[in-house]
Amino acid sequence: MKNVKVLGSGCNKCRVTIDTIRATAERLGVEIELEKVEDFARIAGYGVMATPSVVVDEVVVHTGSVPTAKSIEGWIA
Amino acid sequence: MRMETGMSELISTLVATPRRHPLWAVALGAAAWALVYSQLEPLSFAVVGLMGLAPETRLAGAVQFFVYDTPKVLMLLTGVVFVMGVVHTFVSPERTRQLLSGRSSGVGNVLAASLGIVTPFCSCSAVPLFIGFLQAGVPLGVTFSFLIAAPMVNEIALGMLFALFGWRVALLYLGMGVLVAIVAGMVLGRLGLEGWVESWVIELRSRQHATVATGAAPTWSERVESGWNHVREIVGKVWIYIILGVALGAGIHGYVPEDFMASIMGSGAWWSVPAAVLLGIPMYTNAAGVIPIVEALLAKGAALGTALAFMMSVIALSAPEMIILRKVLKPQLIAAFVAIVATGILLVGLVFNHVL
């Protein structure tokens, strides 16, 4: 099972990102471990400078915007 | 059946063509844009005629102003936001950080304030960006120059000023904003306030920053798509303020006496600029929301320096942003930041009203 983290603190785009990832996983029937990281020290630890960012299995795959459903499929499928 | 496949083929070709030839699609779009734009004025008079309003009346003047200005402002803003959306694909925060790393005061501040205009920035990312800059060895004062310019001199503010008041006012705002960001950043850097950054940030600084795999450079088709997404996101959010602003302008245009505000906010009243800046600090709205107010102030005889200082203060300094920055800055540094930026805006407004 893949571990997916959404980095970002409370902004609207971060919520949309979480919802889109959850919906995509459900649609594909893939089980993922979805986690929201709001602590700035942890976010900085990943080296990203724009939120929302997405981390899949500890690798930063996306940064600075809401990812498209298509790219999410590519990460979790 | 065959009809249906034909149709779906046609549709998929229509959708795929702009993706395959993004620059042609943009050129075509720009031509259509220019054609519609050139017809807006005659169209607005036609609408007034169709409504059966007698020309030369106040109502006809207000209606014509509204019918002409709303699409004009929306189209100009769409153009500016689209271009900026494409520009953003060339300048990532990572690239900006790389350019600023290790720069000295002065050159670094100028570069940071300029890059602040074109780098994609959202105030909700201010904290990770601040940490990322410090980690890569960008000096504190240079980082501040970026953090002041990025939210203040943005495409919404510039696009709307350009659309409503012309390119001179937009350029003026840009120049004033960049100047405040450069000077305030240099002063903050000179004061040596690193001790007022929260200690956990300083501890992070000593660690090597992780590198983010950014992947291949985007194709032109992706750049154009990013421009469109930017338009959808920004114009989709601010159109209501535009209609409000134009309606207000139309009302003022027709009805309120010209020098209504001149006595309280004209350049004659020395305290008008400090009052405008102080009033703007706690206020929070995006650039689009403040424009209708600026429009009302200007139309009623407020001095340009006062109105622009008010706008800068509202956008650059706000309670929510201070609360976010509090996570990485001690209260003393936040106070110094607000005081120095406010002073900068104040001076720019005063000089503008009295010297130029």
C-alpha distances out from residue B260 to B263, B264, B279, B305, Å: 7, 8, 19, 17
Q: Which residues of B touch A43 (CB under 8 A)?
A: 127-128
Q: Max CA-CA distance within chain A?
A: 33
In the numeric block, the tokens 């950043």 are attached to B185
- pLDDT-based confidence at residue B199 (cuts at 50, 70, 90): confident
- Does A11 contact B at CB distance below 8 Å? yes
Q: Tell which A residues from 28 to 57 touch B, by Cβ distance under 8 Å.
A: 40-41, 43-51
- Does A64 contact B at CB distance below 8 Å? yes
Cα–Cα–Cα angle for B72, B291, B229, rounded to 5 degrees: 60
- pLDDT-based confidence at residue B289 (cuts at 50, 70, 90): confident
| pLDDT over threshold 80, residue B212 | no
What pLDDT sits at residue B125? 83
Cα B45 to the chain's mean position, in Å?
31
- pLDDT-based confidence at residue B113 (cuts at 50, 70, 90): very high
| pLDDT over threshold 80, residue B242 | yes
Residue of A nearest to B88 (CA): A64
Q: Tell me: the pLDDT tens digits for B34-59?
A: 999 988 888 888 888 888 877 777 78
Q: Is residue B236 within 8 Å of residue B228, measured between CB atoms? A: no
As given in the structure block, the two tokens for residue B232 are 């959808």
| pLDDT over threshold 50, residue B107 | yes
Q: Is residue B170 within 8 Å of residue B213, measured between CB atoms? A: no
ipTM above 0.95, yes or no: no
| pLDDT over threshold 80, residue B300 | no
Residue B138: DSSP 8-state: -
Interval A62-73 mean pLDDT:
87
Q: What is the rounded distance in angstroms from the CA atom of residue B294 to the CA atom of residue B289?
A: 10
Interval B263-273 mean pLDDT:
68
Q: A32 vs B102, which has greater pLDDT?
A: A32
Interface residues of chain B, partner chain A, Cβ below 8 Å: 92-94, 97, 120, 122, 124-125, 127-129, 131-133, 135, 200-201, 204, 209-213, 327-328
A41/B204 Cβ within 8 A? yes
What pLDDT sits at residue B1? 47
Best mutation target among B119, B131, B201 (most A Cβ atoms within 10 Å) is: B131
